[in-house]
Amino acid sequence: MGGSKKYNPDGGFSVQDYKAVGRTANGIKIIEPKDKRSNTNTPMFSNTPNTMYAKTKNGKINQVAVYGRGKDHRGKLKDIDIGHYHENPDGKLKFKITDIHVHDYTDNSPHSKYARKPSKKERRLLMIAMYGKRKKQ
């Protein structure tokens, strides 16, 4: 849950920008920024391989980040987002604040400016994170 652009010279993989606040029944870790004013996106790499983080903003989940790519299985695969307007650069797809959309990552590339509609499984992942039973961290 560290920042993707920060290096911690004192050891460890990264400086932690988030704190864990809970977990869903299916194992999605719920995180929130340590600095409430921060608009930090989830990091490009996770310290835990093959995991998912649900990011909160103002107490509401607005993103599920899925990790598992690369030789060490820690790179980001996709962001499943809701809660903001998004328009693809070519103008062909537009997503309202209430629309779920997905940004895919390839080979740990930077955030894709193009989004797509979610699959049923991706929609379900976000809904479970938003409305499912939670365990305190």
* pLDDT tens digits along 105-124: 876 566 688 999 999 999 99
Q: What is the pLDDT of residue 92?
A: 93
Write down the pLDDT at residue 105: 87
Is residue 76 domain-resident?
yes
pLDDT of residue 112: 80
Strand, coil or helix: 124: helix
pLDDT value of residue 73: 66
Establish if 4 belongs to a structural domain: no
- Domain assignment present for residue 7? The answer is no
Q: What is the pLDDT of residue 60?
A: 86
Cβ-contact 33, 43 below 8 angstroms: no
Query: What is the pLDDT at residue 102?
Result: 96
112 belongs to a structural domain: yes
The torsion angles phi and psi of 30, rounded to 5 degrees, stand at -95, 125
**Is residue 8 included in any domain, yes or no?**
no
Return the residue matching tokens 């996106």.
41
Beta strands, E only, 94-136 = 94-95, 101-104, 134-136
The lowest-confidence range among 5-9, 74-78, 105-109 is 5-9
C-alpha span between 55 and 102 (Å, rounded): 14
- pLDDT value of position 10: 47
Average pLDDT over residues 83-109: 90
> What's at 8, amino acid-wise?
N
The predicted-structure confidence for 45-57, as pLDDT tens digits, reads as follows: 777 778 899 988 8
Please tell me the chain's helix, strand, coil percentages from 3-state DSSP, rounded to the nearest 5. 10, 35, 55
pLDDT surpassing 50 at residue 127: yes
Residue 90 lies in a domain: yes
Q: Domain for residue 34, yes or no? A: yes
Number of domains in the chain: 1
Question: 10 lies in a domain?
Answer: no
Is the confidence at residue 14, as pLDDT, over 80?
no
- Secondary structure of residue 122 in the 3-state scheme: helix
By residue range, what is the domain housing residue 121?
18-136
